[in-house]
Structure 1
Amino acid sequence: MKNWGIQTRILILALAPAIVVAGALSIYFVLALLADLDRDLRDQGLGLGRQLAAIAEYSAYSGDRQALNSIALAALEESHVNSVEVYDQNGDALAASGALPPSLNPLPDASQSVVIHESLDHLRIAAPVLRHRLEAQDPFLADSPTAGPGELPPLLGWVVVEMSRQALDARRKETMVFTLALMLLTVAATSLLAMVLVRQVSRPIIRLERAVDRIRTGHLNLQLPADSGGELQRLEEGFNTMARALQEARGNLEGKIHEATRELERKRQEAERSSLAKSRFLAAASHDLRQPLHALNLFAADLKNNASDPDQQKLAGQIGTSILSMSELLDALLNISRIDVAGVSPQYEVMSLQALFERLRHTFAREAESRGLRLRFRPTQAWIQGDPALLERLLGNLLTNALRYTERGSILVVARQRRQGWRLEVRDSGSGIAPEHQQAVFEEFFQVGNAEREQGKGLGLGLAIVDRLAKAMEVPLELRSALGRGSTFALLLPAADPQEAGAGATEQVPTVALLTHGAGYMEATANQIMGWLQDWGFHCRRVESAEGGLRLAAVPEESGDAPFLWLAVGNPESLSPLLDAGAGHPAVVITPDAQSPDAPWFTLSHPVRPAKLRALLLRLRDEWEDAKADAKP
């Protein structure tokens, strides 16, 4: 009923009482008429029986069967009479309008006319034939016994009349048909009047409903004709007033919105220009400061090497630590400003996660060992679709963050297969992140528990860069963490078939083997150069012993792990075992000492200029790639 329209409701409201009243009256009158018909038939039968009993009194007393038969046959002329039978006082048949029936059993009441049998198609009535006192001069009757005053007359017999109900059934059907037709006619007339009422009442309401729908769609200039009269007309006039008010209010609101939109757009453009200018300033400042900072780092290293007493060495070490922190800050600022200013355009290709794990292992194994942590990479056969450089940079920042905030325990890097691809997880057993901080850690310069901005706890840019790189690669980034239970950073990467790996997938990231052992090794300069190599798109692999270098030199070129270049910072002697073993890769030495022009390596003076080192590495990389291309069949 809730979904019925107003027309249906008004129609039902008008028709329902009329139908109920018409039906009730029809049923009442039909039942009353049927009862009257049945009573009339019963009364007719009782009256006819008494008349026939009076007529048959003399014939029954005299035993004149012929006269009795004549009386029975004559009674058939009456309507609704099926048969007439005459019985004596013992119930034996004396006469009948048809064949003589059997004896009457049981005997009816002798005092009055009664119904002795009743069925759906007939009615049998018995009337007693009594001898009454007659004032006649008939000598035959004069000596007959008669009833005295107050006595029941002597019984002579019974007259039984059978009345037919067939005609009564026909009258009943006619009555019901007439009553039903009358009720239908009443309902039809009521329906016609109800429809007229519905149209007069519902038309203005429906018109208002449609107008409200148009108002809802924005046609506020709509006006209705106020011609319905009465309350409906006042409702239409109120609707028109409301529509005009809404139209005026919308015009005012649109003007304010338009003005506010222009103001917001202006402020947005100013904010974007300010943000872009800030990013450009940071990028330019970071880039311009790197060269003098690098020179300052080299001078601090020389100061430490030339320090004559422990106090000077301690001071030189503190200067070097401060310079290293400043260098990390500039590197982070340069990285995030490059992403904001120039954006990131991922170069997707089919790549092996195991090869990526190996590169990350070589990069971070030494730092994890120095912190007393266990760094584990679970072996995997996963192949994914991704940008190798961006993904390595993203995972590198996650590992750096994990190493910084894990005091004891382990760090696990694992790839798990899911229906949508491969879920790459970096887990640590660090202090964890509270739920209220798990969104803010991806903002610039936000750090949990480092309000004093201690240098050893980073700068708060690593996870911001991770978030930007994940969005650039359109990779979902998930963080699950709890205080005291460590953190898990997860990426969902699309799976790829290794059979689909083409030239782009087999292309290797150039690896530079940095020799970090031997006399003269300058660690501070080497750390600075490692940051440059990462920015220039090279993968840096630390070689911490002569044996490790020999093993690396024996790695086949097609494995993807072989370096294309050996780099020594202040320790050219570490190259000798490799060259003696026949390592065919070029070598670069950065040293403040003079070198023989016949030395089998490229020599750059210390402190080295970044542009000069980069130009040399790019040239050697191009020669290495050309040699690989020529070697292919």
Structure 2
Amino acid sequence: MRSRFGLDRLGFRSRVLVAALLPSVAIALALAIHFTSTRIDDIEQSLIDRAALLTGSLAPASEYGLFVGNLDILQSLADSMMRERGVDGVLIVDRDQLVLARAGQVSDPPVDTTRGLARTALLQSSERFHQFAAPVFSAQGPSDLPFDDQLEPSGPLRLGTVVVQVSRFGSAQARRELITSAVLITAGGLLLAGLFARFLSDGVTAPVRALAETVQRIEKGDFSVRARTGARGILQVLEDGINRMAVSLQTARAGLEERVHDATAQLQQQKEVAEQASRAKTQFVDALLHDLSQPLMAMGLDIRTLKLRLRDDESAGLLSRLERSSLKLENMRDVLLDVARLESGATQPRLTDFPLIRVFDSLRVTFEAQAAEKGLRFELHPTRAWCRSDPLLLERVLANLVSNALRYTTRGTVFAGVRMLDDGRLRIEVRDSGQGIPADRIDDVFEEFVRLPGADPGAGGRGMGLGLTIVKRLCALLGHEVKVRSRPGRGSTFSVVLPRVRAFVQAPVAESLHGLARLAGCRVALIDDDAAVLQSLQSLLSSVGIDVIAGTSPDFVLRQLRQAGAPAFIISDYQLGDGLDGLNAVLTLRRELGDAIPALVMTGLAATRELEIELEGHGIPLVAKPVRPVVLDAVIGGMLDAADDLDA
């Protein structure tokens, strides 16, 4: 509730000071007003009494002069009266109102006010003066009356009137001096009262303020503080309660800190266990994926080499079936690799401008045969559009969308194409004529391990339920927008919206392995400690006319190159065994044969972000195993294009 006088805005100390000072102020002002007004009345009354006394004393003194008509005596009396303090003027008149003597400045009184005057009286008063008059009588009768011995005397004979006018200036000055003195005395008294009230308020509020300061320090967390006011009574009880509260809080905080310390230690121990488990898992996944990558890569390269060499229909059919099986294994391996890299943060985009036709060509090579095997049409609409993205990560996104479309489509068409948007972006759409997605499951399809019923086992089984999860995470990483529209029984459309850029060169329709074909007739250094992968990759490169210097160790390849000459390109595995790695191998060859030799490094590790950063510092891209021929071709072609642009 707010105070009517605004005291709630004052502090405790100020309130006590007001409470102590207010009565003193009220009493001092009342006394000063009372005694000052009384004294002013006394001064005024004293002036009136004195003027009346002077007038009354002049009247009998003037009796003789009036009786005998001696003007000199009367004037002398008037002049002597003027010497009295405060007298402004004197007037003496006879009974016929004839002025006989005048001294100073005096106003003539009205005739009717003096004619019947019987005693001294105040005739008139103003702010400047008081005017008094007194009658003059003679105790003797007239001596010239005939037969006076036979008449009875008629009383005192009126001889005239004396008028005395006194100034009020003296009394006014006395009043001002009195008021000034009263004000000064009152102010001094109030000052002393204020000092005394301040002293009293400090004495009353000091213990309370000390307790409040103690509470504030406790509120800020200083539980070691104790209140020591020396107060008695209720304040002593309050002080003891605050001190007990501080002790309790200090004890509680000590216990809480001990529990927090124990919990922190437990959490740190659990964190270390979790980190150790995570490292063990990462190492296991790296080893597993690496061990899977080597044979898968060798098998894929061998199949590709055999397809280039064996042209009869029977061999081509057998190799196609083997290639499809190999691709299914590689797809499963790629899913696991993508999840591991996304969880570890190893996957980071490398945005660049490139033609979408390269990604579409890779999708055609990967999925065309798979679609044909199911009796589906797989249509990729040709495009000359260029975009800004990471080509490898974008291919993984579209590959997952196409793979998912083929898995849930039993008849009809799977279509991939590009639409130009008005806002300077483009939208890649993957449409199918499959079973569609129920409306209540649209938001679920991007979650982990969500698999809708109806997948065709012939399209690689129902999968692991991670493909669309990877799509969502990769699009978030790339900053691309992914959407889905679906009608149950009519099919689904997944779309990815990404930036469109202007083509700085015309994007040609690529021929098969055109990037590797540009190295035909050139020398390439190849290093891999896995003999099967080394032989398969050497066979692929040789099939397009590349002179391959291959070996399982950098030293062996370097000795061969010293005799044959510097290579046009270096391809190396990262894990070479015996503590060697692909980066040092490339740097060793560059130091001796030429710093400008382009190179790439392959790896089967999952957590590769730190490695990618290190390799980027030397201008070396990192490619995940198993490396498909089309991917290897695209990476090498892109590096040669970039080198040509720099030379131009």
Using structure 2 for the length normalisation, give the TM-score. 0.56
Does the Cα contact within 8 Å between 1:426 and 1:489 map onto a contact in 2? yes
Of 38, 56, 75, the match for 2:81? 75
Determine helix, strand or coil for the equivalent of 1:459: helix
- CA offset at residue 125 of structure 1? 0.8
Alignment of 1:297-336 (within 5 A): 327-336=330-339
Does the CA-based 8 Å contact 1:286-1:330 persist in structure 2?
Answer: yes
The superposition leaves residues 347-370 of structure 1 with CA deviations (integer Å, 9 ceiling, x where unpaired) of: 9xxxxx8xx343446425997997
Partner of 1:363: 359
Match of 1:139 among 143, 151, 174: 143
Q: 2:36 aligned with 1:36, yes or no?
A: no
1:90-129 → structure 2 map (5 Å cutoff):
93-98=99-104, 108=113, 110-111=115-116, 113-119=121-127, 122-127=128-133, 129=135
Tell whether 2:516 aligns with 1:565.
yes
Tell me the distance in 2 between the aligned counterparts of 1:110 and 1:488: 128
- Rounded to whole Å, the distance in 2 between the matches of 1:326 and 1:47 is 141
Query: Counterpart of 1:178?
Result: 181
| Alpha-carbon distance in structure 2 between the residues aligned to 1:490 and 1:140 | 149
- Counterpart position of 1:49: 55
Per-residue Cα deviation, 1:346-395 (whole angstroms, up to 9, x for no partner) = 89xxxxx8xx343446425997997789989699xxxxxxxx9x855566
Is contact 1:57-1:130 (8 Å) kept?
A: yes
CA distance in structure 2 between the partners assigned to 1:237 and 1:620 by the alignment: 83
- Matched residue of 1:445: which SS? coil
Query: Among 6, 9, 17, which residue is 1:11 paired with?
Result: 17
After superposition, the Cα gap between the structure-2 partners of 1:425 and 1:614, relative to the gap in structure 1 and judged at 3 Å, is: closer
CA contact (8 A) 1:376 1:413 kept: no
1:198-213 matched pairs, under 5 angstroms: 198-213=201-216
Aligned to 2:471: 462
Q: 2:167 aligns with which of 160, 164, 167?
A: 164
Q: Which residue of 2 aligns with 1:261?
A: 264
Cα distance in 2 between the residues matched to 1:632 and 1:542: 21
The Cα offsets for residues 537-572 of structure 1, whole Å up to 9 and x where unpaired, read as: xxxx983579xx9xxxxxxxxxxxxx75349xxxxx
Whichever residue aligns with residue 565 of structure 1, its letter is: L
Letter in 1 for 2:359: T
Call closer, same or farther: CA 1:490–1:613 in 2, change over 3 Å: closer
Q: Distance in 2 between matches of 1:362 and 1:147?
A: 160
Q: Quote the Cα distance in structure 2 between the aligned partners of 1:487 and 1:154.
A: 140
Matched with 2:90 is 84
The corresponding residue for 1:553 is none
Paired residues, number:
499
| Corresponding residue for residue 33 of structure 2 | 27
2: CA distance between counterparts of 1:78 and 1:225?
73
Q: Deviations over 1:125-144 (max 9, x none)?
A: 1425366xx66354158999
Shift of the 463–376 alpha-carbon distance from structure 1 to 2, 3 Å rule, reads: farther
Give the structure 2 partner of residue 252 of structure 1: 255
Deviations 1:585-604 (A, max 9, x none): 99xxx999x9999974579x
Aligned equivalents of 1:205, 1:126: Cα separation in 2: 68
Give TM-score scaled by structure 1 length: 0.57
Contact 1:82–1:163 (CA<8 Å) still a contact in 2?
A: yes
Instruction: Indicate if the aligned counterparts of 2:87 and 2:164 stay in contact, CA closer than 8 A.
Output: yes
The 1-side partners of 2:144 and 2:496 are apart by: 138
Matches within 5 A, 1:136-535: 136-140=140-144, 158-225=161-228, 227-290=230-293, 295=299, 327-338=330-341, 340-341=343-344, 343=346, 356-360=352-356, 362-364=358-360, 445=448, 458-467=467-476, 469=477
| RMSD of equivalent CA atoms | 6.4
SS in 1 for 2:468: coil
SS at match of 1:37: helix
Kept in 1, the 8 Å contact 2:93–2:160? The answer is yes
Q: Compared with structure 1, are the counterparts of its residues 480 and 359 closer, same or farther at alpha carbon in structure 2 (3 Å cutoff)? A: closer
Name the structure, 1 or 2, with higher relative contact order (CA <8 Å, separation 6+): 2
- Structure 1: segments with no counterpart, 5+ residues: 348-352, 380-387, 417-423, 471-476, 492-507, 514-540, 550-562, 568-574, 604-608
Deviation at 1:50, TM superposition (A): 4.5
How far did 1:166 drift?
3.3
Structure 2 counterpart of 1:136, one-letter code: Q
Matched residue SS, 1:191: helix
Show the counterpart of 1:383.
Answer: none
Deviations 1:430-481 (A, max 9, x none): 99xx9xx99x99x97287x9699976993302332455x57xxxxxx69799
Report deviation, 1:41. 1.8
1-side partners of 2:49 and 2:162: how far apart? Answer: 16
Corresponding letter in the other structure for 2:271:
R
The 3 A distance-change label for structure 1 pair 429 and 401 is: same
- 8 Å CA contact 1:280, 1:341 repeated in 2: no
Q: Which amino acid aligns with 1:166?
A: F
User: Structure 2 unaligned runs (5+)?
Assistant: 1-6, 365-376, 406-413, 456-461, 487-492, 525-534, 549-624
Q: Aligned partners of 2:482 and 2:75: how far apart in 1?
A: 117
What is the deviation of 1:77?
A: 4.1
Match of 1:543 in 2: 509
* 2:179 alignment partner, SS class: helix
Contact 2:122 2:132 in 1 (8 A): yes
Deviations 1:99-151 (A, max 9, x none): 7x6855686465563353412xx3131425366xx6635415899999989xx
Q: Is the 8 A contact 1:401 1:462 kept in 2?
A: yes
Q: Is the 8 A contact 2:401 2:471 kept in 1?
A: no
Question: Cα distance 1:47–1:324, how it changes in 2: closer, same or farther (>3 A)?
Answer: farther
Separation (CA, whole Å) in 2 of partners of 1:365 and 1:427: 14
1:214-238 CA-to-partner distances (Å, cap 9, x unmatched) read 4344442333446322222222222
The 1:427/1:414 distance shift into structure 2, 3 A limit, reads: farther
1:340 and 1:325, CA in 2 relative to 1: closer, same or farther beyond 3 A?
A: same
- Give the distance between the partners of 2:641 and 2:536, measured in 1 at CA: 27
Counterpart residue identity of residue 126, structure 2: E
| Partner SS, residue 222 of structure 1 | coil
Q: Distance in 1 between matches of 2:543 and 2:241?
A: 103
CA gap 1:49/1:628 in 2 versus in 1, 3 angstroms: same
Q: Secondary structure at the match of 1:84?
A: strand
Q: What is the Cα deviation at residue 428 of structure 1?
A: 8.6
Question: What letter is aligned with 1:260?
Answer: A
Q: What residue number does 1:538 align with?
A: none
Aligned to 2:91, what secondary structure does the other structure show? strand
The residue type paired with residue 337 of structure 2 is: L
Paired with 2:152 and 2:384, the residues of 1 have a C-alpha distance of: 140
In the superposition, relative to structure 1, how do residues 200 and 176 fare at CA in structure 2: closer, same or farther (>3 Å)? same
CA–CA distance in structure 1, aligned partners of residues 116 and 392 of structure 2: 126
CA distance in 1, matches of 2:146, 2:331: 159
